[in-house]
């Protein structure tokens, strides 16, 4: 056994945030990462990705983004920042070490990995994230389809799709942006939307909506929500007449009740209005050349990109943690209790409009404080 005080699992933004706070407070830890580099997911996101949240509310603890960075930080800049964050706090992950199983034994956690020697830790902080395992739906006739089917996790840019017909399945933030990326390069693009979505403008008259929303939230009697709805109607317009099923409830309520993050629009709505992105509904089946939709229509496609989300699958690490998970199979709290005492979770609360990086700031502070106080 390798005895450690605190074991952090995952060297993405959440793991680095916890490690940075612990370094700041001189708390010992070991951080393991299954890949051969930190921030692996960010290094492999699609090329055009930028944060949809403003930089001043998206940095990790104790180290703001550089002043010269733009308001909305690019994927490449996020990667450089995370690498610099690790250097700044002298965070050195143990790479190519993947967690297989956690067991509680005599008040400590035994962490079995792909390496021969397990860890024995007083505290374990899981930061493996909500985007760990791609969600891969299956449709009738899928095996017949002659084109390619890939998850958005592997999408980089439109080059492989030029001159072809592409169906993007799902209109979350990734699906909306991948569809826009394709359409802007004249790829014949269609997006399939199964359930109602909330669409928010990223900016209004050059001002970030995220900052405006914080001000509106202070207005009493629900007037802030009403004003926000009016802004959405003016800037986004009625996308339902273009086939987009729009949610009738407030984006924050939809996020909390359904787990669906609002789409932060950076141009997809205009592309839909201009006919550059066609909209279809739910899928019934696939056939050799394309897709049959539930409205009875069918359409030929060369490629299908699944923007169908991910699963955290924490049960793979801790088989008995089902009672601690919510309806979306995510932790109910950052701090475990009962049989999960001294097990912590950072980066799994995706139910706030401020974005996951803002949540990581809050949760990492809560967790490190809980560890110090013995919670």
Mean pLDDT of all residues in 144-156: 97
* 345 Cα distance to chain centroid: 15
**Residue 85: both structure tokens together:** 């964050």
Q: How confident is the model at residue 147, as a pLDDT?
A: 97
pLDDT reading at 354 higher than 80? no
Q: Which of 21-25, 174-178, 234-238, 296-300 has the lowest mean pLDDT?
A: 234-238
* 54 Cα distance to chain centroid: 16
Residue 102 or residue 256, greater confidence:
102
Q: How confident is the model at residue 370, as a pLDDT?
A: 96
Please check whether residue 365 is in contact with residue 61, taking contact to mean a CB–CB distance below 8 angstroms: yes
The ranges assigned to domains in the chain are 2-132+312-372, 135-306
Q: How confident is the model at residue 12, as a pLDDT?
A: 97
Mean pLDDT of all residues in 346-363: 83
Pairing status of strand 303-306 against strand 148-151: parallel
pLDDT reading at 250 higher than 80? no
N residues, the chain = 375
Of the options 3.30.70.20, 3.40.50.300, 3.90.230.10, 3.50.50.60, the CATH number for the domain spanning 2-132+312-372:
3.50.50.60
Highest mean pLDDT (candidates 137-141, 222-226, 323-327)? 137-141
81-110 in b/e form (b: 16+ CB < 10 A) is: bbbebbeebebebeeebebeebebeeebbb
Q: How confident is the model at residue 247, as a pLDDT?
A: 83
| Contacts with 11 (C-beta within 8 Å, 6 or more apart), sequence order | 19, 31, 32, 33, 35, 38, 39, 40, 86, 91, 93, 95
Q: How confident is the model at residue 135, as a pLDDT?
A: 95
Mean pLDDT of all residues in 261-285: 94
Q: How confident is the model at residue 91, as a pLDDT?
A: 98
Q: pLDDT tens across 72-129, in order?
A: 999 999 999 999 999 999 999 999 999 999 999 999 999 999 999 999 999 999 999 9
Q: How confident is the model at residue 260, as a pLDDT?
A: 72
Residue 75 sits at φ, ψ, to 5 deg, of -55, -50
What does each C-alpha distance from 77 to 23, 65, 346 come to in angstroms? 23, 9, 22
152-181 in b/e form (b: 16+ CB < 10 A) is: bbebeebeebeebbbbbbbbbbbbbbbbbb
| Contacts with 323 (C-beta within 8 Å, 6 or more apart), sequence order | none
Percent of the chain with pLDDT over 90: 77
Same fold, 2-132+312-372 and 135-306: yes
Q: How confident is the model at residue 66, as a pLDDT?
A: 97
Please check whether residue 154 is in contact with residue 168, taking contact to mean a CB–CB distance below 8 angstroms: no
* 104 Cα distance to chain centroid: 29
Q: For the chain, what is the mean pLDDT?
A: 91
| DSSP SS3 for 86 | helix
- The pTM (predicted TM-score) of the whole model is 0.91
- Nearest Cα neighbor of 305 from 192, 162, 194 is 192
- CATH architecture, domain defined by 135-306: 3-Layer(bba) Sandwich (3.50)
Q: Give the E-state strand segments of the chain in sequence order.
A: 2-9, 30-32, 99-105, 108-113, 119-126, 133-134, 148-151, 165-169, 188-192, 199-201, 203-204, 207-208, 263-265, 277-280, 283-287, 290-293, 298-300, 303-306, 310-311, 343-345
Q: Please report the DSSP string for 261-302 in residue order.
A: PPEEESSHHHHHHTTSEEEE--EEEEETTEEEETTS-EEE-S
């Amino acid at each position: 056994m390798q005895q450690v005080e605190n074991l952090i699992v995952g060297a993405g933004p959440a793991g680095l945030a916890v490690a940075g706070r612990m370094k700041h407070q001189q708390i010992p830890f070991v951080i393991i990462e299954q890949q051969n580099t930190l921030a692996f997911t960010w290094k492999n996101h699609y090329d055009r990705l930028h944060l949809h949240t403003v930089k001043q509310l998206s940095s990790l603890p104790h180290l703001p983004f550089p002043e010269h960075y733009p308001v909305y930080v690019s994927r490449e800049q996020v990667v450089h920042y995370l690498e610099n964050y690790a250097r700044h706090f002298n965070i050195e992950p143990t790479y190519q070490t993947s967690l297989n199983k956690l067991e509680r034994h005599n008040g400590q956690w035994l962490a079995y990995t792909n390496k021969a020697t397990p860890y024995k830790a007083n505290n374990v902080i899981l930061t493996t994230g909500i985007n760990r395992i791609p969600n891969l739906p299956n449709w009738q006739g899928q095996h017949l389809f002659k084109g390619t089917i890939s998850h958005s996790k592997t999408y980089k840019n439109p080059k492989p799709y030029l001159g072809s017909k592409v169906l993007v399945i799902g209109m979350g933030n990734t699906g909306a942006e991948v569809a826009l990326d394709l359409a802007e390069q004249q790829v014949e693009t269609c997006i399939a939307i199964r359930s109602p979505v909330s669409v928010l403008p990223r900016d209004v008259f050059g001002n970030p909506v995220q900052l405006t929303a914080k001000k509106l939230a202070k207005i009493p009697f629900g007037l802030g929500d009403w004003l926000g709805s009016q802004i959405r109607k003016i800037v986004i317009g009625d996308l339902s007449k273009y086939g987009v099923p729009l949610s009738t409830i407030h984006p924050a309520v939809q996020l909390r009740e359904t787990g669906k993050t609002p789409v932060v629009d950076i141009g997809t709505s205009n592309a839909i209005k201009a006919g550059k992105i066609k909209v279809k509904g739910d899928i019934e089946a696939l056939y050799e050349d394309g897709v049959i939709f539930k409205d009875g229509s069918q359409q030929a496609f060369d490629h299908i990109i699944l923007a169908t989300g991910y699963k955290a699958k924490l049960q793979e690490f801790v088989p008995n943690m089902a009672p601690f998970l919510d309806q979306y199979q995510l932790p109910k709290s950052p701090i475990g209790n009962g049989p999960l005492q001294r097990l912590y979770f950072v980066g799994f609360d995706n139910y706030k409009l401020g974005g996951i990086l803002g949540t990581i700031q809050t949760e990492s502070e809560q967790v490190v404080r809980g560890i110090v106080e013995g919670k």
